[in-house]
A and B are shown apart, each in its own frame.
Chain A
Amino acid sequence: MALERSDVEKIAHLARLGLNDADLPRTTDALNSILGLVDQMQAVDTQGIAPLAHPLEASQRLRPDQVTEHNQREAYQAIAPATENGLYLVPKVIE
């Protein structure tokens, strides 16, 4: 099943990517080409095969519930595009 231009617009919205209208046909072709490659795997018989998420099948390690990080807000906000009084600034969300 090939993606249409409208599918690509929907995917781009889900991914919060602003695409240029001019690029849409080329992007649609490229995604269809990649998905054509990906779809080759549908021919593989995987009946009864458990999915593999971690190559060594390790699970998440736990650590003692202790504070190990100190507050570094200033260092982290120093690289932000816009901050004020320790807060990140974005366009107004609520009128």
Chain B
Amino acid sequence: MHELTLAQIARGLADKTFSSEELTGALLARIAEHDGRLNSFISVTAERALAQARAADARRASGETGALLGAPVAHKDLFCTHGVRTTCASRMLENFEAPYNATVVEKLDAAGMVTLGKTNMDEFAMGSASENSHFGPVKNPWNLEHVPGGSSGGSAAAVAARLLPASTGTDTGGSIRQPAAFTNLTGLKPTYGRVSRWGMIAYASSLDQGGPLARTAEDCALLLQGMAGFDPKDSTSIDEPVPDFSAGLNTSLEGLSIGVPKEYFSPGLDPRIGDAVQATVAELQKLGARVVDISLPNLGHAIPAYYVIAPAEASSNLSRFDGVRFGYRCEHPADLTDLYKRSRGEGFGAEVQRRIMVGTYALSAGYYDAYYVKAQQVRRLIKNDFMAAFEQVDVILGPTTPNPAWKIGAKSADPVAAYLEDFYTITANMAGLPGLSMPAGFVDGLPVGVQLLAPYFQEGRLLNVAHRYQQVTDWHRRSPEGF
């Protein structure tokens, strides 16, 4: 039962082959059996899940239908859930119970999804390995000595290990696509504003975007359908019609133009991943696509600019954690300043503190123009590169990551070494574009992802290309040994 995809579950529930309660029980047993090795969950909500499953079965018995009704999901532990703690993998929020649900949670609950739990991640979504967690690192089911990527690493590891079919994640610089690549999943970061950020604990508000992780593009389409849509509660939500993502999955790729930027094949790229990219291109050509050489001249400037913009926004967003209104408070504060400083110093981990300080410095008097304004100018150059490229091509294709998943601890000593691994993913956040990573091979037994980028609001096109590719390849069907 644990091998079923969301699409297969929808059929099974509709045909009454099994009930949501049976499925939920089976998956909860699997989590109990296997998650000790992975550490992919921070909270497992077994009783609540079984109650939701019975409610979904009752709705179905009374004639209701819906692809997600009774289907299981888990939420990255930064989506606020009323009645279940939301920790952001931080000591700061170790016992925080939000007084409301995130819009994404509200929508998926209403669609009848069954929440199995909250998944582990990098603290406040700051990281690319899911090692920066107060609850300990997440392991990659493909090799338990390696990281699963991050920051949505728990969401990825759990789905890759067949503990459940799909999960929610968020992506600020690659945090859905990179763990998807490292664990052989399909992961989609939608257009900025497509999925509501309300109740999604903020890291960098102009870059953050929620999206689905699953084993197939078809499943990502189903879950995104439930997550997407205009939300008046999110001031940057975009009021655009949401298409039927499943309806376009089978559209022919005849005549599709794929841009491959020459800058992607830089010395930092593992040549074996480069080969996997070329093999993917060849496969898509067989399906009727044509390839166009393009250029993204400002690609190399994206990481430096990102490490101004994201920390600057984080330093502002995380000022709300003050030890007064909610979250961690230090013992015996001497005065108000001591309360702020020790609550934040003891409540936040090292990487969060570093990014807050980089942002505070970049925004401080005398440095604002040299750092923040400069980074926003570079951001426009990056967006302009994409706008020019999308006048020539329908989608852009390349590697999701320069290297496969590294060993746990290998990049802990030097934060910058890990930052550079986001070379291919960060530009989509800077420009606000939708991006998808899909399985495209293996290197040393570790999965390789290929990334597709499309113009604004064309998530459907990304899902279409990935789905057609998954009809003629079987990388995405491979499962890790022992799970």
Interface residues, chain A, with chain B CB atoms under 8 Å away: 3, 8, 11-20, 23, 27, 30-31, 33-42, 44, 46, 49-56, 58, 60-61, 63, 72, 75-76, 78-82, 88, 90-93
Residue contact A80 to B324, C-beta cutoff 8 Å = yes
From A13, A35, A93, residue with most partner B Cβ within 10 Å = A35
Nearest-neighbour CB distance to chain A for B209, whole angstroms, equals: 10
Residue contact A90 to B324, C-beta cutoff 8 Å = yes
From A17, A53, A81, A82, residue with most partner B Cβ within 10 Å = A17
Query: Is B356 part of the contact surface with A, judged by Cβ < 8 Å?
Result: yes
Residue contact B377 to A51, C-beta cutoff 8 Å = yes
Nearest-neighbour CB distance to chain B for A34, whole angstroms, equals: 5
Residue contact A16 to B340, C-beta cutoff 8 Å = yes
Query: Is B380 part of the contact surface with A, judged by Cβ < 8 Å?
Result: yes
What are 25 inter-chain pairs, A to B, with CB distance below 8 A?
A: A17-B344, A17-B356, A17-B357, A18-B341, A31-B354, A31-B357, A34-B415, A34-B416, A35-B358, A38-B308, A41-B301, A41-B304, A41-B305, A51-B377, A55-B433, A56-B238, A56-B456, A58-B238, A60-B235, A61-B232, A61-B235, A79-B99, A80-B325, A81-B329, A93-B336
Residue contact A40 to B301, C-beta cutoff 8 Å = yes
A-side contacts of B235, CB under 8 Å: 60-61
Known contacts: A41-B304, A55-B430, A55-B431. The answer to whether A31 contacts B358 by CB under 8 A is yes
From B353, B357, B416, B433, residue with most partner A Cβ within 10 Å = B357
From B193, B340, B361, residue with most partner A Cβ within 10 Å = B361
- Report Cα–Cα, A44/B43, bound state, in Å: 45
**Which residues of B (357-393) have their CB < 8 Å from a CB of A?**
357-358, 360-362, 364, 370-371, 373-381, 383
- Report Cα–Cα, A50/B336, bound state, in Å: 41
**Interface 1/0s, chain B 326-348, versus A by CB < 8 A?**
11110001111111111011101
- Report Cα–Cα, A10/B83, bound state, in Å: 40
From A61, A72, A92, residue with most partner B Cβ within 10 Å = A61
Residue contact B303 to A37, C-beta cutoff 8 Å = yes
**Binding site secondary structure of chain B:** helix
A-side contacts of B298, CB under 8 Å: 44
Known contacts: A51-B379, A55-B206. The answer to whether A11 contacts B339 by CB under 8 A is no
Known contacts: A34-B354, A55-B431, A81-B323. The answer to whether A72 contacts B99 by CB under 8 A is yes
A-side contacts of B236, CB under 8 Å: 54, 58
Nearest-neighbour CB distance to chain B for A9, whole angstroms, equals: 11
Known contacts: A80-B326, A82-B329, A90-B336. The answer to whether A14 contacts B364 by CB under 8 A is yes
A-side contacts of B339, CB under 8 Å: 90-91
Residue contact B415 to A33, C-beta cutoff 8 Å = yes
Residue contact A50 to B377, C-beta cutoff 8 Å = yes
**Binding site secondary structure of chain A:** loop
Residue contact A15 to B301, C-beta cutoff 8 Å = no
- Report Cα–Cα, A12/B232, bound state, in Å: 36
Given pairs A15-B357, A34-B358, A39-B304, 16 additional interface contacts (CB within 8 A): A11-B360, A17-B357, A18-B345, A34-B354, A38-B307, A46-B374, A54-B236, A55-B383, A55-B431, A56-B192, A60-B235, A79-B96, A79-B326, A80-B325, A81-B327, A91-B335
Interface residues, chain B, with chain A CB atoms under 8 Å away: 96-97, 99, 191-193, 206, 232, 235-236, 238, 298, 301, 303-305, 307-308, 315, 319, 322-329, 333-342, 344-346, 348, 350, 353-354, 356-358, 360-362, 364, 370-371, 373-381, 383, 414-416, 419, 430-433, 456
From B305, B334, B338, B377, residue with most partner A Cβ within 10 Å = B377
- Report Cα–Cα, A22/B380, bound state, in Å: 41
- Report Cα–Cα, A35/B348, bound state, in Å: 21
Residue contact A17 to B380, C-beta cutoff 8 Å = no
Known contacts: A18-B342, A41-B301. The answer to whether A75 contacts B99 by CB under 8 A is yes
B-side contacts of A30, CB under 8 Å: 354, 415
Residue contact A55 to B346, C-beta cutoff 8 Å = no
Q: Which listed residue, B326, B335, B373, touches A51 by the CB 8 Å rule?
A: B373
From B304, B360, B362, residue with most partner A Cβ within 10 Å = B304
Q: Which listed residue, A3, A27, A41, touches B375 by the CB 8 Å rule?
A: A41
Residue contact A37 to B357, C-beta cutoff 8 Å = no
Q: Which listed residue, B193, B307, B376, touches A52 by the CB 8 Å rule?
A: B376
Known contacts: A37-B304, A44-B298. The answer to whether A52 contacts B379 by CB under 8 A is yes
Residue contact B354 to A79, C-beta cutoff 8 Å = no
Residue contact A54 to B416, C-beta cutoff 8 Å = no
A-side contacts of B361, CB under 8 Å: 3, 11, 31, 35
